[in-house]
Amino acid sequence: MKILVPVKRVIDYNLKPRVKADGSGVDLTNIKMSMNPFDEIAVEEAIRLREKGAASEIVAVSIGPAKAQETLRTALAMGADRAILVETDDQVEPLAVARILKAIADEEAPGMVLMGKQAIDDDCNQTGQMLAALMGRPQGTFASLVAIEGDHVSVTREVDGGLETVKLALPAVVTTDLRLNEPRYASLPNIMKAKKKPLDVKSPADYGVDTTPRLTTLKVEEPPVRQAGEVVGSVDELVTKLKAMGAVA
Amino acid sequence: MSALVLAEHDGGVLSAATLATVTAAAALGGPVHVLVAGGDDAAGVADAAAAIAGVEKVLVAQDAAYGAQLAENVAPLIAGLMDGYDAFLAPATTTGKNIAPRVAALLDVMQVSEIISVEGPKTFTRPIYAGNAVATVQSSDARLVITVRTTTFDKAAATGGSATVEAVSGPGDAGLSSFVGLEASRSERPELTSAGIIVSGGRALKDAETFSQIITPLADKLGAAIGASRAAVDAGYISNDYQVGQTGKIVAPDLYIAVGISGAIQHLAGMKDSKVIVAINKDPDAPIFQIADLGLVADLFQAVPELTGKL
Ligand SMILES: Cc1cc2nc3c(=O)[nH]c(=O)nc-3n(C[C@H](O)[C@H](O)[C@H](O)COP(=O)(O)OP(=O)(O)OC[C@H]3O[C@@H](n4cnc5c(N)ncnc54)[C@H](O)[C@@H]3O)c2cc1C
Ligand SMILES: Nc1ncnc2c1ncn2[C@@H]1O[C@H](COP(=O)(O)O)[C@@H](O)[C@H]1O
């Protein structure tokens, strides 16, 4: 079984994003960019499935600028077999990303698409579900456990009420949650090897997908800043203040 | 703009998240209808939905295939009903987040995720970058698919309405997926996303036993819900559905007490709209103090039991 793993290049999760003064967006100049953390978990899970013999080939895909090659090289260094960059400098929305991924899935015929539940820049949490709809295939979102059972996959999902398990016919789209695994670090020899692994460069037009945005961003602002309050000296003072504020009875 | 709202329900009970979503839908300015998709318990939920103030009509799709809210089955049902509506809205809960984008793709619409305000019929604000920025976006799609951050909208009144109830049907079981089971974390406590007070614990709580020894008595005293940081959940102190943050639950209680939580941006994203924030942390430089109304620099193992005793 082939596994397709879409990976997005995003601001490193350790950094605090700054809004541009002109309100046009978030300033990403000279900002460290990394693979979306949920996508790292997806790459790791694909590798583990291959290690268990449940998967044969792992293809990483990214839609983004030329620099997204670095993200793909990271996936290759972790253990993906080959990569496809769909290069564009435009901001591509989840719906268009899903359309491109659908076209790639048509060509590659993966048994599973394993991807992040959410990109930590747009916080959309929708691409995987959209892809599953476009493919007419089932979806296992927010996965904390993935087990292949013949021509089905059992997915345990992190839901508001606890943990839900669903059984999906393959091919299926699975999106990762934080508890699925802990991604490995790429070793130096693997980073060197990854440089020689195949990486195809394509364009959205190659897949016949129009990436014109459906949403226009009118402005991007800082959220209202919350002022730090006061530091109290003791539990007694804390209780007094809480009562004075009416926060506790 | 006529709007269809997906009712979220569990065990025959309509969720508070649905009420907030109705408020967001009403802000679009047109009639609001509610869809109840479910199994045997759908009829009861439909009666509850019909009583929500401001709802004009309730559509009920009762079919075993909709019982577990499987997106593969529910999304085509919704897409099939959308001819009569300008917008579809679902609460940004795990159920809504699972189903709504699938509806959006079936309708060829770009979803507007997790809105926090309605600025115009097609203009909304939504947090991005873990809430470090707020974007105002305008949709150019003919129809809208929206998920709603329910903590930022008031709940519509659960009673006072008298909507008509109409049975609808959809394609039923798509034959792609099946529900196996739910390991529910049942608790007598208030539900996290609608609680008035939350006591939340972090990595500093050491282990599951210590977490519950320290946090539970304080929560009991205050009648509070319990929350946790990702680190506490990852370490197994408490189950995943207690995680507060960018990728967990978004909460906005009247009082949020963060115990042994450093205040990473991903955690703050989930709780910084709380009315009063209290932080107890032994590190005076912990970022949580930058947003706390009241901070106590102390060892939590001493301070929390003392606080519980003195409240
Ligand atoms: C993609 C992604 C998504 C994430 N999503 C979330 C999310 O939704 N929610 C979330 O919470 N995190 C999330 N995180 C994780 C986040 O970055 C932090 O790692 C996490 O919030 C840290 O948890 P913590 O504050 O409990 O632990 P730590 O950062 O380790 O902080 C522990 C704190 O306890 C204090 N302490 C220690 N001992 C004592 C004592 N005896 N008395 C008092 N204080 C003490 C320390 O001073 C420290 O400040 C996410 C991370 C990633 C990469
Ligand atoms: N430009 C992209 N390139 C590759 N994968 C993407 C891209 N955008 C989104 N994805 C995938 O879709 C997931 C969810 O993204 P989102 O719906 O934007 O929150 C991410 O975790 C990625 O796996």
B68: pLDDT strictly greater than 80: yes
Q: Are residues B208 and B140 in the same domain?
A: no
- pLDDT, tens digit, for every residue of B18-44? 999 999 999 999 999 999 999 999 999
pLDDT of residue B131: 93
Inter-chain Cβ pairs, chain A and chain B, closer than 8 A:
257
- E strands, A88-214, where? 112-116, 139-149, 152-159, 162-169, 172-176, 199-202
Q: Are residues B163 and B205 in the same domain?
A: no
Question: Does residue B148 share a domain with residue B34?
Answer: yes
Longest dimension (CA), chain B: 61
**Alpha-carbon span A22 to A246, nearest angstrom:** 40
Q: Does B66 map to a domain?
A: yes
Query: B74-125 pLDDT, tens per residue?
Result: 999 999 999 999 999 999 999 999 999 999 999 999 999 999 999 999 999 9
In a domain, B148, yes or no: yes
Tell whether B133 and B14 lie within a shared domain: yes
- Residue A22's pLDDT is 95
Residue numbers of the domain that contains B9: 3-167
Confidence (pLDDT) at A226: 87
Q: Which residues of A touch B289 (CB under 8 A)?
A: 228, 231
Quick check: A166 and B138 CB within 8 A?
no
Number of compact structural domains in chain B: 2
**CATH assignment at residue B115:** 3.40.50.620
Kindly indicate the confidence band of residue B283, based on its pLDDT and cuts at 50, 70 and 90: very high
For residues A137 and A145, give the distance between their C-alpha atoms in angstroms, rounded to a whole number. 19
Residue B51: band (very low, low, confident or very high) from pLDDT cuts 50, 70, 90: very high
Ligand 2 center–CA B240 separation, angstroms: 23
Mean pLDDT by groups of 10 residues along chain A of 249 residues: 98 95 94 98 98 97 98 98 97 97 98 98 98 98 97 97 96 97 96 97 98 97 90 97 93
Q: Residues of A with CB below 8 A from B296's CB? A: 231-232, 234-235, 238
Q: Tell whether B163 is covered by a domain.
A: yes
Residue B176 forms part of a structural domain: no
* Nearest chain A alpha carbon to B276: A247
B249 close to B189: Cβ distance less than 8 angstroms: no
Looking at residue A225, what is its pLDDT?
86
**What pLDDT, on the 0 to 100 scale, is given for residue B191?**
86
- Does some domain include residue B186? no
pLDDT at B186 exceeding the cut of 80: no
Evaluate whether residue B15 is within a structural domain.
yes
Judged against a pLDDT cut of 90, whether residue B188 lies above it is answered with no
Per-residue model confidence (pLDDT) at position B273: 93
- Band the pLDDT of B217: cuts 50, 70, 90: very high
Same domain, B21 and B124: yes
Cβ–Cβ under 8 Å, residues B127 and A223: yes
Q: Counting ligands in written order, which one lies closest to the CA of residue A141?
A: 2
Write out residues with Cβ below 6 Å of ligand 1. A 13, 37, 120; B 202-204, 229-232, 243-248, 260-262, 264, 266-267, 270, 281-283, 286, 299-301
pLDDT of residue B310: 96
B222-251 residue pLDDT tens: 999 999 999 999 999 999 999 999 999 999
Per-residue pLDDT, B72: 98
Please tell me the distance between residue B220's alpha carbon and the centre of ligand 1 in angstroms. Answer: 23
Residue B43 DSSP code: H
B153 lies in the same domain as B230: no
State whether B7 and B116 are in the same domain.
Answer: yes
A7's tokens: 């990976």
In a domain, B177, yes or no: no
Let me know if residue B175 belongs to a domain: no
Burial B95-119 (b: 16+ CB within 10 A, else e): bbbbbbbbbbbbbebbbbbbbbebe
B209-217: average pLDDT: 98
Q: Are residues B153 and B210 in the same domain?
A: no
**Domains in chain A, CATH or no CATH each:** 2-225 (3.40.50.620)
